[in-house]
Amino acid sequence: MPSERVQRRIDRLLDDAEQAMDQRDWTLAQSLAREVLSLDPENGDGATFLAAAERMLPSGAAAAERQTPFAPGDTAQSSDSPPRDDPQPASFANGRYAVKRFLGEGGKKKVYLAHDTLLDRDVAFALIKTEGLDEVGRDRITREAQAI
């Protein structure tokens, strides 16, 4: 049984995973569920969320994700650090989110474990890649961000 402190962290991660599932962000939900299971391998909710997220990912992505924990996206590769030619940012949103480590990268996002200094909790911060997007793609991302 995890300590109270660890259980609070697990509960926050599960809340974030549930929110990611509500938004149909299956790669983020999968990453968060894996983090829960890294803290408590017997956690039933974490296992259920992970299984649900993997079922919703394309079949090739789910298989790749099982082999590389914390890696979001279809062709993700897990790593404790970003690619060598891409330095890890120290923070996002004018310092609100302090980056702890790189979790993984997919075709559309880079995901970092960050600490939300305003709410004093760890979060998964997904950075959307905009390179190569046309006007329609940028508009879609803008609408998604406004909806969130």
Q: Measuring CA to CA, which residue among 144, 101, 143, 140 is closest to residue 122?
A: 101
Burial (Cβ within 10 Å: 0-12, 13-18, ≥19) of residue 120: exposed
Which domain does 101 fall in, by range?
4-147
Helix, strand, coil percent values for the chain (each to nearest 5) = 45, 20, 35
pTM for this predicted structure: 0.43
Q: What is the pLDDT along the chain (148 residues), one digit of tens a residue?
A: 788 998 999 999 999 999 988 888 888 999 999 898 888 888 889 888 988 888 887 654 443 443 333 333 333 334 444 444 567 888 888 889 999 998 888 777 888 899 999 999 999 888 888 777 788 888 887 887 788 7
Q: Which of 65, 74, 75, 78 is nearest to 113 (CA)?
A: 78
Q: Structurally, how many domains does the chain consist of?
A: 1
Both tokens assigned to 62 = 């789910």
